[in-house]
Amino acid sequence: REEKQLELTLEALISQVADLKNSLVSFIYKLENEYDRLAWPSVLDSFALLSGQLNTLNKVLKHEKTPLLRNQVIIPLVLSPDRDEEIMRQTEGRVPVFSHEVVPDHLRTKPDPEVEEQEKQLITDAARISPDVAQKQIQSLNKMCSNLLEKISKEERESESGGLRQNKQTFNPADTNALVAAVAFGKGLSNRRPPGSGGSVQSGQAGAGAIIASASGMQQVPMSGAPAQQQPMLAGVQIAQAGQPGKMPSGIKTNIKSASMHPYQR
**What CATH number did the domain enclosing 48 receive?**
1.20.58
Residue 188 lies inside a defined structural domain of this protein: no
Of 159, 155, 157, 178, give the one whose Cα is nearest residue 167: 159
* pTM of the shown model: 0.39
Number of domains in the chain: 3
Residues 83 and 150 in one domain: no
Residues 11 and 53 in one domain: yes
Of 105, 72, 77, give the one whose Cα is nearest residue 91: 105
Q: Which domain holds residue 35?
A: 1-72
State residue 27's pLDDT score: 92
Of 53, 69, 56, 58, give the one whose Cα is nearest residue 8: 69
Residues 55 and 86 in one domain: no
State residue 193's pLDDT score: 62
Residues 10 and 54 in one domain: yes
State residue 51's pLDDT score: 93
Residues 21 and 33 in one domain: yes
State residue 252's pLDDT score: 52
Cβ 119 vs Cβ 111: under 8 Å: yes
Residue 167 lies inside a defined structural domain of this protein: no
**Average pLDDT of each block of 10 consecutive residues along the chain (266 residues)?**
84 90 92 86 91 91 82 83 88 87 82 87 88 90 92 85 68 84 82 55 43 44 44 45 48 51 53
Residues 119 and 65 in one domain: no
Residues 62 and 118 in one domain: no
Domain end residue (candidates: 87, 109, 131): 109
Residue 172 lies inside a defined structural domain of this protein: no
Residues 1 and 66 in one domain: yes
Long-range contacts of 73-78 (CB under 8 A, 24+ apart): 74/107, 74/109, 76/103, 76/107
Cβ 97 vs Cβ 83: under 8 Å: yes
